[in-house]
């Protein structure tokens, strides 16, 4: 993979400055996102990544997750890479896709390790990859390292869509904008809010910001803390076109959720 030149940091800072200026003007004019739908009748199931990422998830729980996803016609199931092979077998012949998370949940592994995990996950049957950004490199303003990290996963994935998990609860506004900018530059398919393990989840404000930065060319996935249909609709109205949650059934049926965490 060809590494980006030394001009990357200057480019990112220039783009970030321009975006922040634009956002400040939008706030002053009280502009809101018009990307999402405001309809309460929207079918949320095709937007949901039905998720089970607990480290103690059993094979029986993965089987149940896949059965639920097929029954309710969710878009995908999202599991740890060690479970994606089983999920792929269980979902074979259905329209539900298996997702594997990579570098999860810290994002602190090397770019080459994430690339290898991506290749292994795809070999096992993953049809989408959710990778965690290198948060330490981002906070160190080492944008080249962040870009190379994302790009390594994107190249390993080939035609398989890659979502970049930003862990927004740990970032300030400028860092969120830079993370989105780098994800877009690295040709990721989506930016995603949270792992669900980092002490915070999706917020309407973050979804609006992410959508404004990436535009309509990329997807935006809201994940973490989405428990009800009302929560989900707020995220969609803010600009999300994918929802990561373990409360999927409660969201589409209107029942109360008894799940904890993600």
pLDDT in tens, 54-85: 999 999 999 999 999 999 999 999 999 999 99
The one catalytic residue in 97, 114, 130, 208 is 130
- In the chain, % of residues over pLDDT 70: 88
- How many other C-beta atoms can be found within 10 angstroms of the C-beta atom of residue 208? 23
- Can you tell me the distance from the alpha carbon of 44 to that of 63, in angstroms, rounded to the nearest whole number? 22
232 inside domain = yes
pLDDT at residue 31 greater than cutoff 60: no
pLDDT value of position 33: 46
Task: Read off the CATH number of the domain in which 88 is found.
Answer: 3.20.20.70
User: Total domain count for the chain?
Assistant: 1
19 inside domain = no
Which of 8-12, 32-36, 77-81, 244-248 is predicted least confidently? 32-36
77 inside domain = yes
- Provide the domain limits for residue 226: 8-12+43-253
pLDDT at residue 39 greater than cutoff 80: no
- Can you tell me the distance from the alpha carbon of 160 to that of 12, in angstroms, rounded to the nearest whole number? 26
pLDDT in tens, 11-28: 777 777 767 776 776 665
Q: Is 221 a catalytic residue?
A: yes
100 inside domain = yes
147 inside domain = yes
Q: Is 234 a catalytic residue?
A: no
Average pLDDT of span 123-135 = 98
143 inside domain = yes
**H or E, element range at 190:** strand 190-192
3-state secondary structure 223-262: ECCCCCHHHHHHHHHHCCCEEEECCHHHHHHCCCCCCCCC
30 inside domain = no
Q: Is the pTM of this model over 0.85?
A: yes
- CA torsion sign for 206, 211, 214, 220 is positive
The one catalytic residue in 97, 114, 184, 192 is 192
The one catalytic residue in 97, 114, 208, 221 is 221
24 inside domain = no
């Amino acid at each position: 993979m060809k590494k980006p030149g030394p001009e990357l940091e200057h480019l990112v800072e220039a783009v970030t400055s321009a975006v922040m200026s634009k956002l400040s003007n939008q706030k002053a004019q009280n502009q809101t996102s018009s990307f999402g739908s405001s309809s309460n009748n929207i079918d949320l199931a095709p937007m949901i990544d039905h998720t089970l990422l607990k480290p103690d998830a059993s094979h029986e729980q993965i089987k149940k997750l896949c059965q639920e996803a097929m029954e309710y016609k969710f878009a995908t199931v999202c599991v740890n890479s060690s479970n994606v092979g089983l999920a792929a077998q269980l979902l074979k012949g259905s329209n539900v896709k298996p997702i594997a998370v990579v570098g999860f949940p810290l994002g602190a592994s090397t770019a080459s390790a994430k690339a290898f995990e991506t290749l292994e996950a795809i070999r096992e049957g993953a049809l989408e990859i959710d990778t965690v950004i290198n948060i330490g490199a981002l906070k160190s303003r080492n944008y080249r390292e962040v870009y190379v990290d994302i790009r390594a996963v994107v190249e390993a994935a080939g035609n398989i869509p890659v979502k970049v998990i930003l862990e927004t609860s740990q970032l300030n506004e400028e860092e969120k904008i830079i993370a989105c900018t780098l994800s877009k530059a690295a040709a990721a398919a989506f930016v995603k809010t949270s792992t669900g393990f980092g002490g915070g989840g999706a917020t309407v404000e973050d979804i609006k910001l992410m959508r404004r930065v990436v535009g309509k060319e990329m997807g935006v996935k809201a994940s973490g803390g989405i428990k009800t249909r009302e929560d989900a609709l707020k995220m969609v109205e803010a600009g999300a076109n994918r929802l990561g949650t373990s409360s999927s059934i409660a969201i589409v049926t209107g029942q109360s959720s008894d799940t904890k965490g993600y």
